[in-house]
Structure 1
């Protein structure tokens, strides 16, 4: 739980950066690295689409009722199994 407190602000800052940087700002270096083609579009689309997916996943995990978390803990689940 302590790592979550330290990791979350860093992750949120990275997601904010990914959402606020214009698409061409990371598309141009990708074009220089990979040239024109579907790979560049795939990477740019992944960068563009990742922040909303991560934020929605974090919101969903935060809203899991404490009863369900507690029952998993009492059942002997590890942290990964609870996830």
Structure 2
């Protein structure tokens, strides 16, 4: 089973948390501190490495995560789709 991901944070603070949802369990598994320039990219890179290494996902597969900004209306938190190889540097 492939996990689902949430990236929680904002570019204003540069603090981001990656939450993994697998089999109805949610766990914060990665954290980026004070990276206002490329924090979200660092999170996607980390997710890509985890999916390829731990879950044996192929680099050309499309994955998605929900982007949650604290304080933003829950209905306005978008889901982003991307290709693992685009961020698995």
TM-score by length of 1: 0.30
- Structure having the higher helix fraction is 1
| Greater gyration radius | 1
- Structure having the higher strand fraction is 2
TM-score by length of 2: 0.28
